[in-house]
């Protein structure tokens, strides 16, 4: 199996990107390289990394996003794998408007699964393409930042970036 791959430096940190058949299948912070490789091996088995400049057009979209075009990620094709429930959660995450947040409970209710807050949280935590699937837009029901694989500082940075460019109020 061959996966297109590259590394990109953004103001939010260095990212590793992987694509398969024209769709982004994994994205992670460069300091989490080993975890990302494990995720890919679990999904695809043994794979070969083929360096390309812009796998699935994700580099171009992420650069535009970093430059303030916060809607640039909307059209990036993703191939997430995952269970049916995880895919439903990830689709719902992509529907959260830029510059806004939601809670795990509200997301569960929007899926018609009001008691599935923990399952929503678990799916959120297994998101293979953060930022593109904006799991950073999910916060605790009390409004506090909670749970982000890239760390809460990065979560805050992404939310502030989106709010600034979407014209929404900044976090306090």
Q: How confident is the model at residue 171 (pLDDT cuts 50, 70, 90)?
A: low
Nearest to 123 by CA among 150, 98, 149, 99: 149
Would you state the torsion angle of the CA atoms of residues 67, 73, 79, 80, taken in this order, to the nearest 10 degrees? 90
Query: Hey, do 2-66 and 84-166 end up sharing a CATH topology, with the first three levels equal?
Result: no
Cβ atoms of 150 and 130 closer than 8 Å: yes
* % pLDDT > 90, the chain: 87
State the pTM of this model: 0.93
Q: Which of 135, 138, 139, 159 is catalytic?
A: 135
* % pLDDT > 70, the chain: 97
25 is catalytic: no
Task: DSSP letter for 156, please.
Answer: H
Annotation: CATH topology of 2-66: Double Stranded RNA Binding Domain (3.30.160)
Q: Check residue 43 and give its pLDDT.
A: 95
Work out whether the CA dihedral 153, 154, 159, 165 comes out positive or negative.
positive
- Residue 16 phi, psi (nearest 5): -110, 135
Domain boundaries, the chain: 2-66, 84-166
pLDDT in tens, 6-38: 999 999 999 999 999 999 999 999 999 999 999
Q: Check residue 150 and give its pLDDT.
A: 84
Cα distance between residue 159 and residue 172, in whole Å: 11
Nearest to 15 by CA among 52, 56, 59: 59
Annotation: CATH topology of 84-166: Arc Repressor Mutant, subunit A (1.10.10)
pLDDT in tens, 36-88: 999 999 999 999 999 999 999 999 999 999 999 999 999 999 999 999 999 99
Helix boundaries (H) for 27-151: 33-44, 58-66, 84-94, 104-110, 117-125
Residue 168 in this model has a pLDDT that exceeds 70:
no
Q: Check residue 170 and give its pLDDT.
A: 59
């Amino acid at each position: 199996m061959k996966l297109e791959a590259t590394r990109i430096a953004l103001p939010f940190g260095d990212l590793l990107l992987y694509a398969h058949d024209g769709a982004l299948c994994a994205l992670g912070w460069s300091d989490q390289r080993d975890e990302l490789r494990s995720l890919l091996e679990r999904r695809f088995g043994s794979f070969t990394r083929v360096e390309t400049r812009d796998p699935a057009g994700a580099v171009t979209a992420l650069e535009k996003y970093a430059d303030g075009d916060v809607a640039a990620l909307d059209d990036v094709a993703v191939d997430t794998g995952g269970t049916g429930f995880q895919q439903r959660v990830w689709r719902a995450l992509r529907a959260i408007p830029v510059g806004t947040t939601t809670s795990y409970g509200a997301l569960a209710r929007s899926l018609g699964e009001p008691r599935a807050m923990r399952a929503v949280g678990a799916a959120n935590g297994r998101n293979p393409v953060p930022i593109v699937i904006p799991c950073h837009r999910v916060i605790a029901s009390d409004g506090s930042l909670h749970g982000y694989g890239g760390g809460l500082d990065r979560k805050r940075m992404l939310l502030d970036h989106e709010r600034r460019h979407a014209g929404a109020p900044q976090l306090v």
